[in-house]
């Protein structure tokens, strides 16, 4: 009897939507493949007040290592900077829009937001970028899934929230109140907009199935951005951002670190061959550290 491919994912609506994209892609390539999607509650789901990125992958990775599932689907930005021993990043499907978006309670015209508007975000990076862009804003921390955050805007509790464009697109939550933010002011989190399909490093069947979904430019960009984050310390509490793109077979990466209040920012760029994507990320991070960005990463430096 043919054994179904078991896929682990978080149970949130966005995680399920992302996993559905992976499942559909698998079935297009292997129409007779049996697929069993298994929602898993992570430590980050159980304790939303903690909610750092590794907390949204740890339980799923444990299920993968324990052979309870064969593949795991994550938001690539939630992955730790290095894969747990025994696991590997088998595939990154084509990346969605990596930009951040401002979702407002009503149209505000060219200014996007009124003076002293209240904006919700749980991300130190977004908070620092918002305050650099508009020091008059009041940025408050919010938790919860996408629908919870959007609800707080719809009832007027917040003037706006900042969310990833990719998540809004995957949930069908795009409207005239969603405004993409430019990279010049809002460089995204490392690997934002990309999906990560993990497998056990010794599971040849699952690896082969997953690798058929891989989009090499996206995978290279994710490798570069994760290497950038790892070199800077890999902590999602640090206001850091990075975006890599492949242009004419060369990978170009731009990265930054900011102070918590957004008043200080260091940016650097680098390029290199796709095959050395991780080295490009490490080089750009080292450049930031050498130019003084390391001060922002030290205790009390921001």
Question: pLDDT by residue (tens digit) across 42-73?
Answer: 766 666 555 445 567 889 999 999 999 999 99
Question: pLDDT by residue (tens digit) across 78-91?
Answer: 998 888 899 999 99
- Same domain, yes or no: 207 and 76: yes
How many CA atoms within 13 Å lie on the side-chain side of 75?
26
74 lies in some domain: yes
Q: What 3-state DSSP class applies to 26?
A: helix
187 lies in some domain: no
User: Comparing 297 with 290, which gets the higher pLDDT?
Assistant: 290
How far is the C-alpha of 298 from the C-alpha of 187, rounded, in Å? 22
Q: Specify whether the CB–CB gap between 179 and 165 falls below 8 A.
A: no
- Same domain, yes or no: 230 and 268: yes
Under the banding of pLDDT at 50, 70 and 90, the label for residue 189 is very high
- Same domain, yes or no: 2 and 62: yes
How far is the C-alpha of 279 from the C-alpha of 156, rounded, in Å? 46
Burial of 239 (0-12, 13-18, 19+ CB in 10 A): buried
Under the banding of pLDDT at 50, 70 and 90, the label for residue 1 is very low
- Same domain, yes or no: 16 and 38: yes
In the predicted structure, residue 221 carries a pLDDT above the cut 80:
yes
Task: Using the 3D structure, point to which of 128, 157, 180 is the last residue of a domain.
Answer: 180
Mean pLDDT of 120-138: 96
Q: Look at residues 95, 97, 283, 302 and name the one whose alpha carbon lies nearest to residue 183.
A: 97
Q: CATH number for the domain including 89?
A: 3.40.190.10
**How far, in whole angstroms, is CA 116 from its chain's centroid?**
28
- Predicted pLDDT of residue 47: 60
- Same domain, yes or no: 80 and 136: no
86 lies in some domain: yes
119 lies in some domain: yes
Mean pLDDT of 27-46: 87
Question: pLDDT by residue (tens digit) across 247-281?
Answer: 988 999 999 999 999 999 999 999 999 999 999 99
Show the tokens assigned to 252.
């170009």
Q: Look at residues 76, 61, 53, 19 and name the one whose alpha carbon lies nearest to residue 224.
A: 76
Q: Which residue has the tokens 């009832």?
A: 155
Domain containing 238 equals 215-296
- Predicted pLDDT of residue 179: 93
In the predicted structure, residue 300 carries a pLDDT above the cut 60:
no
SS (H, E, C) 65-104: HCCCCCEEEEEHHHCCCCCCCCEEEEECCCCCCCCEEEEE
- Predicted pLDDT of residue 299: 54
Residues 6+ apart with CB under 8 A from 143: 48, 49, 51, 122
263 lies in some domain: yes
Looking only at the bridges linking them, the beta strands covering 160-164 and 178-180 are unpaired
Q: CATH number for the domain including 243?
A: 3.30.160.40
In the predicted structure, residue 216 carries a pLDDT above the cut 80:
yes
Active-site choice (45, 78, 159, 223): 78
- Same domain, yes or no: 208 and 283: no
- Predicted pLDDT of residue 80: 86
Task: Using the 3D structure, point to which of 180, 202, 235 is the last residue of a domain.
Answer: 180
- Same domain, yes or no: 65 and 108: no
The structural domain count of the chain equals 3
- 203 is an active site residue: no
156 lies in some domain: yes
How far is the C-alpha of 62 from the C-alpha of 248, rounded, in Å? 39
172 lies in some domain: yes
Highest mean pLDDT pick, 47-61, 213-227, 286-300? 213-227
Q: Which range is least confidently modeled, 40-54, 135-149, 171-185, 214-228?
A: 40-54
- Same domain, yes or no: 131 and 256: no
- Percent of the chain scoring above 70 in pLDDT: 91
How far is the C-alpha of 126 from the C-alpha of 132, rounded, in Å? 10
166 lies in some domain: yes
- Same domain, yes or no: 260 and 122: no
- Same domain, yes or no: 111 and 170: yes
How far is the C-alpha of 57 from the C-alpha of 293, rounded, in Å? 28
- Same domain, yes or no: 76 and 200: yes
- Same domain, yes or no: 89 and 198: yes
**pTM summary value:** 0.92
Burial of 225 (0-12, 13-18, 19+ CB in 10 A): buried
């Amino acid at each position: 009897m043919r054994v179904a491919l078991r896929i682990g994912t978080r149970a949130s609506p966005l995680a399920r939507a992302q996993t559905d994209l992976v499942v559909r892609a698998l079935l297009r390539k292997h129409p007779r493949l049996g697929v069993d999607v298994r929602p898993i509650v992570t430590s980050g789901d159980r304790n939303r007040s903690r909610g750092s990125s590794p907390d949204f992958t740890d339980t799923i990775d444990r299920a993968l290592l324990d052979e309870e599932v064969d593949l795991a689907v994550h938001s690539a930005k939630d992955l730790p900077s290095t894969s747990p021993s025994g696991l590997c990043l088998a595939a990154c499907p084509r990346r969605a829009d990596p930009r951040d978006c401002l979702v407002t309670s009503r149209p505000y015209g060219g200014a996007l937001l009124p003076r002293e508007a209240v904006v919700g975000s749980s991300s130190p990076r977004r908070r620092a970028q918002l305050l650099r862009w508009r020091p008059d804003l009041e940025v408050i921390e919010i938790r919860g899934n996408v629908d919870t955050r959007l609800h707080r805007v719809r009832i007027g509790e917040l003037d706006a929230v900042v969310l990833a464009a990719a998540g809004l697109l995957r949930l069908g939550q795009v409207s005239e109140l969603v405004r993409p933010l430019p990279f010049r002011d809002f460089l995204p989190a490392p690997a934002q907009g990309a999906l990560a399909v993990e497998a056990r490093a010794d599971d040849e069947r699952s690896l082969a199935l997953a690798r058929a979904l891989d989009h090499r430019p996206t995978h290279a960009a994710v490798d570069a951005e994760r290497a950038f984050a790892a070199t800077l310390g890999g902590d999602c509490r640090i206001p850091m951002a990075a975006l890599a793109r492949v242009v004419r077979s060369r990978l170009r990466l731009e990265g930054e670190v900011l102070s918590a209040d957004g008043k200080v920012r260091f940016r650097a760029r680098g390029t290199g061959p796709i095959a050395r994507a991780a080295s490009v990320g490490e080089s750009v991070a080292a450049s930031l550290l050498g130019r003084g960005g390391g001060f922002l990463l030290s205790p009390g430096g921001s």
